[in-house]
Amino acid sequence: MLALSAANAFRFIIQFLLFPVLARLLSPAEFGLVALAMPVVLVVMMMGEGGMGHAVVRASDPLGEVEATMFLTALANGTLLALFLFVAAPWIAYALSHEDITPLLRWLAPTLVLGALCSVPSARAQKAGTTWIFAVGEIAATTAGAAAALYGALDGWGAWSLVAQQLVFWTVKTITLLSLAGAVLRARPSCGALGYLLRHGTPMLGTNLLALVSRSADCLIVGRFLGAEQVGLYSLAVQIVRMPEAVLVGPAFVSFLPAIVRLEADRPAAARLFTTTIRMMLTLATPMMLGLALVADLAVALLLGPHWAGTTPVLMLLAPAATMQAIGWLSMAVLLGRGRSGLQFRVALIGTTLTLAGLLMGVGYGLTGVAAGIAAATVAGNGVYLATAMRELRLKPGELAAAIWPPLAAAVVMAGGVVALRSLLPGIGAVPTMTLAIIGGALLYVGSLTVLAPGPLAADIRRFRRRADPQVG
């Protein structure tokens, strides 16, 4: 988890440095065109993977038949779907009311084949616990993709610079994973392995598609009803919100899922692990996301420029809700790790329904209405995930509340202090105000957490040290 968090932190820094440059070289409409194309590509890519990755992680596969079957199935699916996307691109663009995305979709189609090639190496690394491979892949792919985007933007490519970023990213990631996790298949595919993958992968595919629809429908609906420029403003805000989330949630999920699988027969131990992981996640995520909301106006003005001011209310609404998204991912891992993929699908269906309802109710009020609807749906949908995971682990609400109240209370103290500090510092300039708000908020949060819960904080630090250094403890 620490290795992946470091890699994602590196990715966060690269994107943090890249976004202000691209925001000044590209228009919101150019961002919007790519933001409309990418959800389509991701949905088709998810269909090619077929939900088989998590099934491989759970499988006892000493001969490698499951891996071999998944690889050939995913590669065949990815190739066929890439051809489908290339041919169907004009009709998809027409349905979205933006015919300009037709060539973008066609050039992004090869990423479906590259994603298929990554499927088995990714599952193999996750199952073996060699998550450092993901870290190396993310660092290499992010660096190369960012360089391609920057070169293209400086050379006047417009939206095509973002397409180049995706193509380079997936190419480098594929080469890295195949090189480090191994590209050799140890066995031949079998009908029995295919049956296993279909049984366990189909419910997961449905869950993944529902989750992807929940995360992508907003850009599609905003683009369809409010236009490419508005979806550009909205999509950039969403990308900024998801960067801190990716630093923490992705690594935690990859490490947490195999741990839950190993503890399948020990429900109390799994419940303790779940509670501890949520507390550690909230300790890091809550001040990060709430702090982003508190300085969103300053950050947008300083980093993106005045023509991106429309992203400010979106950031302020979505950032705090993203904390609940982190809890939802851990709850999903509990259900997957305990083999409850059918239940997982039903919960995901509830979350998708809430997301679509929030979108449809909010789109009539512009970007702010969309952000408010998504924020409310995020909190409600992930609350259902949390309640379901707690019931699966027989975890009582009081036990969870006792573990998580310190970081939440410390975050409230931090928010009150930052708001008060900003009210006392009018007219001193955006840079000094933002600097003082960040430093003051961090000191308030750490100080409050140290006073409220010194024992759990020290225990979590020791736990991190034990995992990072086997000689400790």
> Regarding predicted confidence, which is higher, 198 or 277?
277
CA dist 134 and 140 (Å) reads 10
> Regarding predicted confidence, which is higher, 189 or 31?
31
pLDDT score of 50 more than 60 = yes
- Who's near 413: CB < 8 A, 6+ residues apart? 444, 445, 448
- Contact (Cβ atoms closer than 8 angstroms) between residue 347 and residue 386: no
CA dist 140 and 300 (Å) reads 28
Q: What is the pLDDT of residue 355?
A: 86
Tell me the range of 14-18, 57-61, 446-450 where mean pLDDT is highest: 446-450
- Contact (Cβ atoms closer than 8 angstroms) between residue 69 and residue 189: yes
Q: What is the pLDDT of residue 471?
A: 42
> Regarding predicted confidence, which is higher, 439 or 224?
439
Average pLDDT (43-64) is: 69
CA dist 276 and 273 (Å) reads 5
Return the minimum-mean-pLDDT range out of 9-13, 68-72, 99-103, 157-161: 9-13
Q: Residue 75's CB: how many other CB atoms inside 10 A?
A: 16
Helix orientation angle between 191-226 and 366-393, rounded to the nearest 10 degrees: 150
51 closest CA partner among 258, 150, 199: 199
- Contact (Cβ atoms closer than 8 angstroms) between residue 210 and residue 345: yes
Query: pTM for this structure?
Result: 0.67
HEC string of the chain equals CHHHHHHHHHHHHHHHHHHHHHHHHCCHHHHHHHHHHHHHHHHHHHHHHCCHHHHHHHCCCCCCHHHHHHHHHHHHHHHHHHHHHHHHHHHHHHHCCCHHHHHHHHHHCHHHHHHHHHHHHHHHHHHHCCCHHHHHHHHHHHHHHHHHHHHHHHCCCCCHHHHHHHHHHHHHHHHHHHHHHCCCCCCCCCHHHHHHHHHHHHHHHHHHHHHHHHHHHHHHHHHHHHCHHHHHHHHHHHHHHHHHHHHHHHHHHHHHHHHHHHCCCCHHHHHHHHHHHHHHHHHHHHHHHHHHHHCHHHHHHHHHCHHHCCHHHHHHHHHHHHHHHHHHHHHHHHHHHCCCHHHHHHHHHHHHHHHHHHHHHHHHHHHHHHHHHHHHHHHHHHHHHHHHHHHHHCCCHHHHHHHHHHHHHHHHHHHHHHHHHHHHCCCCCHHHHHHHHHHHHHHHHHHHHHHHCHHHHHHHHHHHHHHHCCCCC
Return the minimum-mean-pLDDT range out of 108-122, 193-207, 314-328, 397-411: 193-207
- Contact (Cβ atoms closer than 8 angstroms) between residue 260 and residue 270: yes
Which token pair is 393? 């682990």
Q: What is the pLDDT of residue 22?
A: 83
pLDDT score of 473 more than 60 = no
pLDDT in tens, 368-389: 898 999 899 989 999 999 999 9
pLDDT in tens, 272-321: 888 988 888 888 888 988 998 998 888 888 877 778 888 889 999 998 88
Tell me the range of 5-9, 119-123, 189-193, 292-296 where mean pLDDT is highest: 292-296
Q: How far does Cα 458 stand from its chain's mean position?
A: 28
Q: Residue 307's CB: how many other CB atoms inside 10 A?
A: 12
260 closest CA partner among 177, 329, 347: 329
Q: What is the pLDDT of residue 85?
A: 92
Torsion of CA 449, 453, 454, 455, to 10 degrees: -150
CA dist 76 and 83 (Å) reads 11
pLDDT in tens, 327-370: 888 888 888 788 777 787 788 888 888 988 988 888 888 888 98
Return the minimum-mean-pLDDT range out of 110-119, 243-252, 327-336, 397-406: 243-252
217 pLDDT tier (thresholds 50, 70, 90): confident
pLDDT in tens, 110-126: 999 998 888 878 877 77
Q: What is the pLDDT of residue 27?
A: 83
Q: What is the pLDDT of residue 470?
A: 40
Q: What angle (nearest 5°) sits at the alpha carbon of residue 259, between those of residues 254 and 260?
A: 100
pLDDT more than 70, % of the chain: 83
Q: What is the pLDDT of residue 462?
A: 64
- Contact (Cβ atoms closer than 8 angstroms) between residue 285 and residue 404: no
Type of residue at 63: L
- Who's near 431: CB < 8 A, 6+ residues apart? 302
Q: What are phi and psi of 97, to 5 degrees?
A: 65, 25
Q: What is the pLDDT of residue 149?
A: 92
Instruction: Work out whether the CA dihedral 308, 310, 312, 316 comes out positive or negative.
Output: negative
Average pLDDT (166-188) is: 85
Torsion of CA 465, 466, 472, 473, to 10 degrees: 130
- Contact (Cβ atoms closer than 8 angstroms) between residue 121 and residue 75: no
What's the residue count for the chain?
Answer: 473
